[in-house]
A and B are shown apart, each in its own frame.
Chain A
Amino acid sequence: METSALAFLKKPSAIIPLFILLLLPWASDNIHFHHVLIMFMLFATLSQAWNVIGGFAGQVSFGHATFFGIGAYAALVPLKKFGLTPWAGMLIGGGLAVILAVLISYPVFRLKGHYFAISTFAVAEIVERLFLNWDFVEGAIGLPAPVLEENLFNFMWYKTKTPYFYIAFALFLLGLLLAHKIVRSRLGFYFRAIKQSPEAAEGLGIDTTRFKMVAMIISAFLTAICGSFYAQYILYIDPPSVFSLDISIKIVLVTVLGGAGTIVGPILGAAILIPLSEYSRILLGGTGRGVDLIVFGALILIISVYQPQGVVGFFRKIGK
């Protein structure tokens, strides 16, 4: 049953699209195009992370921006205050996100369905409010990255996006392999059993609280790492840009739109939503009147009404 995750990469159906993705930056010098590619991979990875708890284990979280924001602050705060490399910050952020995931899991995992969802929401609101009023991290003013030399150690480049592209690609690959590994492992079966019927899973001897927590830990860690990457990519963060409900919801939207509980779902969802939202923002966002978001909202509405199984369902239908 357990196949090596790397063996998956030897399949032509996986290796060819990945190889094409890797070459895409050379297709054009356009800086917007590179940005869209990076955001696509970032959100595909965030969506893979959310999918572990929300898709496979079926526990819908509206609070993933909390882990994202913690990762973002963990990269920039130590860099700015102590000159610590953001790579170390990334691990610190991952660690803190895991600790928080464990702390909130105990009370929250007794809850079912929407009670759980609203609780993740409440936690996210509390954390955002605390960061907004925390002077050490500059509160609502936000935190610009210090201007340092461009290199891998400082995790910052100003003139080119190519290094960011490769780091995002590595993250993307990590998310993909992780999801693949989970689906094929015993853990994946536990998660799906919990999703299908928590009572039956308990009856079969699965410690549902423990495995929900495992799912949350994996998910939180990967989300925080993505947050650190985002902070180093944008080089400026403030609480609304990394902790807001909008981020949490965007992660949910990408996953559900693509197809929750599948490996390709997050990739498909990000491949559709991210170029759409980024390009409509680049092309229409300048009006400042939210035309891009009108298009975005309308599209989500249309897809959900006419394609209720997610985009994955659409491709499966064609496959048949």
Chain B
Amino acid sequence: MDLDILLQILVSGLLMGLIFALIAVGLTLIWGVMDVLNFAHGEFLMLAMYISFWMFSLWHIDPLWSLPISVAALFATGVITYRLIIKKVLNAPGLTALLATFGLSILIKNLAQFFWTPDFRHISGAILSEKTLNILNLNLSLPEVVAAGGSGLITYVIYHLIFKTKTGRAIRAAALDRDTALLMGINIDRIYALTFGLGGACVGVAGALLMNFYYVFPSVGSLFGILAFVTVALGGFGNITGAFLAGVLIGVVETAGGVFISPVFKYTVVFVMYLVIISIRPKGLFGW
């Protein structure tokens, strides 16, 4: 085993990890602010991927150019989901919000299957398609590099928005103590809608970037959704930095597991790692 291969694993894992991280950041944001675990998060990602796919197949708009459309559409999906569903179950006991997002996920997945059939589809002939990049003996696929770079950038934008802006302060206040925030004149309803929209926008970006090198099919969201849940829990629920670092870690471990153990068991390795870490740190790597 020489150094080149190790470096290749590390970099490939890092690239995938940055995308996982962005998906997880969207999920953890919603959880942190309103205590809702959105089970339809993976399905939102699937919608974003289909938007990119149809834009390309029907009107030849490259996934890179249709990215803003996909982001806007998913932001709207998030806001509408909040207004029509989440708002009504927010004060309901225990598992109701969970039930609602389960229902939504089943509904979206099967509507996609109804309208777009279960076929696996992918894009060929886009600007980034099948291009590779060779640096320092490393073979990297250009779409993955762009997707990882874009995901990293957007994760930073979200971080900046939450921690450095006035709106971000309002979001954090709402997360910390809803009633006090309300007394301080923060429009909780708008903040919640915005948060859900931002959660959607994260997968809007991730989905559009993924479409450059990944297949889309109605249940593609399940795998990414499951990984996002594990990432969020690993990083500590509601913790954006935690979700980011956990996403990167999962990307690297998944790739390493695929190479050293077997591609069949690459996600198994991730789940085992989660169980080991969580039994040592019961509130995630960065939770307390």
Q: Which residues of A contact B (CB under 8 A)?
A: 58, 60, 107-108, 110-112, 114-115, 118-119, 121-123, 125-126, 129-130, 132-133, 245, 249, 252-253, 256-257, 260, 289-291, 293-294, 296-306, 308-309
Bound together, the chains give a CA A112 to CA B218 distance in angstroms of 32
B268 engages A125 (CB within 8 Å)? yes
Q: How large is the interface on B (under 10, 10 to 19, 20 to 34, 35 or more residues)?
A: 35 or more
B237 engages A114 (CB within 8 Å)? yes
- Find chain B residues with CB under 8 A from A256 CB: 94-96, 98-99
With both chains docked as a complex, state the minimum distance between the C-beta of B122 and any C-beta of chain A, in angstroms.
Answer: 21
B278 at the interface (CB under 8 A from A): yes
With both chains docked as a complex, state the minimum distance between the C-beta of A246 and any C-beta of chain B, in angstroms.
Answer: 9
Beyond A293-B106, A297-B106, A301-B85: 4 further Cβ-contacts under 8 Å? Answer: A129-B265, A290-B114, A297-B103, A308-B92
Contact residue among B31, B85, B265, B271 (Cβ-Cβ distance under 8 Å from A122): B271
Bound together, the chains give a CA A297 to CA B279 distance in angstroms of 34
- Find chain A residues with CB under 8 A from B19 CB: none
Contact residue among B95, B229, B282 (Cβ-Cβ distance under 8 Å from A112): B282
Bound together, the chains give a CA A130 to CA B102 distance in angstroms of 26
B89 engages A118 (CB within 8 Å)? no
- Find chain B residues with CB under 8 A from A114 CB: 31, 37, 233, 237
Bound together, the chains give a CA A110 to CA B284 distance in angstroms of 12
Contact residue among A60, A129, A298 (Cβ-Cβ distance under 8 Å from B267): A129
Q: Which residues of B contact A (CB under 8 A)?
A: 31, 37, 84-85, 88-89, 92-100, 102-111, 113-114, 117, 218, 222, 226, 229-230, 232-233, 237, 264-265, 267-268, 271-272, 274-275, 278-279, 282-284
- Find chain B residues with CB under 8 A from A289 CB: 113-114, 117
- Find chain B residues with CB under 8 A from A107 CB: 275, 278-279
Q: What are 20 of the A-B contact pairs (CB < 8 Å)?
A: A58-B94, A60-B95, A111-B278, A111-B282, A115-B233, A118-B229, A121-B226, A125-B268, A126-B271, A245-B226, A289-B113, A290-B218, A291-B110, A297-B103, A300-B100, A301-B103, A301-B104, A302-B103, A304-B97, A305-B85
Answer whether A305 and B106 are a contact pair too, CB < 8 Å, given A114-B237, A115-B237: no
B284 engages A115 (CB within 8 Å)? yes
Bound together, the chains give a CA A37 to CA B105 distance in angstroms of 27
Contact residue among A119, A126, A291, A304 (Cβ-Cβ distance under 8 Å from B103): A304
Bound together, the chains give a CA A123 to CA B282 distance in angstroms of 16
- Find chain B residues with CB under 8 A from A299 CB: 103
A129 engages B264 (CB within 8 Å)? yes
Q: Which B-chain residue is minimally distant from A129 (CB atoms)?
A: B268
Bound together, the chains give a CA A123 to CA B272 distance in angstroms of 8
B275 engages A119 (CB within 8 Å)? yes
A304 engages B268 (CB within 8 Å)? no
Q: Which A-chain residue is minimally distant from B229 (CB atoms)?
A: A118
Contact residue among B95, B99, B111, B267 (Cβ-Cβ distance under 8 Å from A125): B267
Q: Which B-chain residue is minimally distant from A124 (CB atoms)?
A: B271
- Find chain B residues with CB under 8 A from A291 CB: 110, 114
Bound together, the chains give a CA A300 to CA B103 distance in angstroms of 5
Bound together, the chains give a CA A7 to CA B187 distance in angstroms of 55
With both chains docked as a complex, state the minimum distance between the C-beta of A91 and any C-beta of chain B, in angstroms.
Answer: 28
- Find chain B residues with CB under 8 A from A252 CB: 95, 98, 102
Q: Which A-chain residue is minimally distant from B95 (CB atoms)?
A: A256
- Find chain A residues with CB under 8 A from B230 CB: 118, 121-122
B110 engages A290 (CB within 8 Å)? yes
Contact residue among B96, B109, B111, B226 (Cβ-Cβ distance under 8 Å from A304): B96
With both chains docked as a complex, state the minimum distance between the C-beta of A179 and any C-beta of chain B, in angstroms.
Answer: 18
- Find chain B residues with CB under 8 A from A300 CB: 99-100, 102-103, 106
With both chains docked as a complex, state the minimum distance between the C-beta of B28 and any C-beta of chain A, in angstroms.
Answer: 11
With both chains docked as a complex, state the minimum distance between the C-beta of B24 and any C-beta of chain A, in angstroms.
Answer: 12
Interface centre among A119, A129, A130, A297 (most CB of B within 10 A): A297
The 9 A-B residue pairs whose C-beta atoms are closest, nearest first, are: A300-B103, A297-B107, A308-B92, A297-B106, A301-B103, A107-B279, A290-B110, A122-B271, A304-B100
B100 engages A305 (CB within 8 Å)? yes
Interface centre among A110, A245, A257, A290 (most CB of B within 10 A): A290
- Find chain A residues with CB under 8 A from B106 CB: 293, 296-297, 300
With both chains docked as a complex, state the minimum distance between the C-beta of B111 and any C-beta of chain A, in angstroms.
Answer: 6
Bound together, the chains give a CA A290 to CA B237 distance in angstroms of 33
Bound together, the chains give a CA A114 to CA B232 distance in angstroms of 10
- Find chain A residues with CB under 8 A from B105 CB: 297
